[in-house]
Amino acid sequence: MPAQKKKIVIVEDDSMLLKYISAAFRTDGGFDVYTGSDGEQGEQVIKEQKPDIVLLDIIMPRKNGFEVLKSLKKDKTTAAIPVIVLTNLGQQKDLDQAKKLGAADYLVKVDMQVGDIVVKVKKFFKTTKH
């Protein structure tokens, strides 16, 4: 019996980037992919799907990624879901805030190719017990 696919929710307001990342996780990663295009929608999808991992942008309309992360970590039904922040904010203070709020990792978009993101997430599953 094949292993069950991992579920990922990607919350990103850049529609082209969201399309590319989603496609990469479906094809290269073999993930079941769910998406949100702003913080409120993303949080709703995360609560409905209970994914194995979340990729979360910070600068988004309606609710920013820090607010979403804080909300997820306060809710006992979503608190254990690992969240990897994926943002253009490369400042140390942003990284520190994400870690303080419970982010499992922090990736800066300008430093990464879409394929690198998939590799990072797969590596995350290999090095943790999720």
Per-residue pLDDT band at 1 (split at 50, 70, 90): very low
Beta bridge partners of 53: 8
> What phi, psi does 61 have (nearest 5°)?
-70, 160
Gap between the Cα atoms of 35 and 55, Å rounded: 9
Statement: residue 81 has pLDDT above 50: yes
> What phi, psi does 105 have (nearest 5°)?
-160, 170
Residue ranges and CATH numbers for the domains of the chain are 7-122 (3.40.50.2300)
Q: Please, are residues 120 and 107 in contact by the beta-carbon 8 Å criterion?
A: yes
Gap between the Cα atoms of 11 and 18, Å rounded: 8
> Taking the model in full, what pTM does it have?
0.92
Reported as a single tens digit per residue, the pLDDT across 19-77 is 999 999 999 868 999 999 999 999 999 999 999 999 999 999 999 999 999 999 999 99
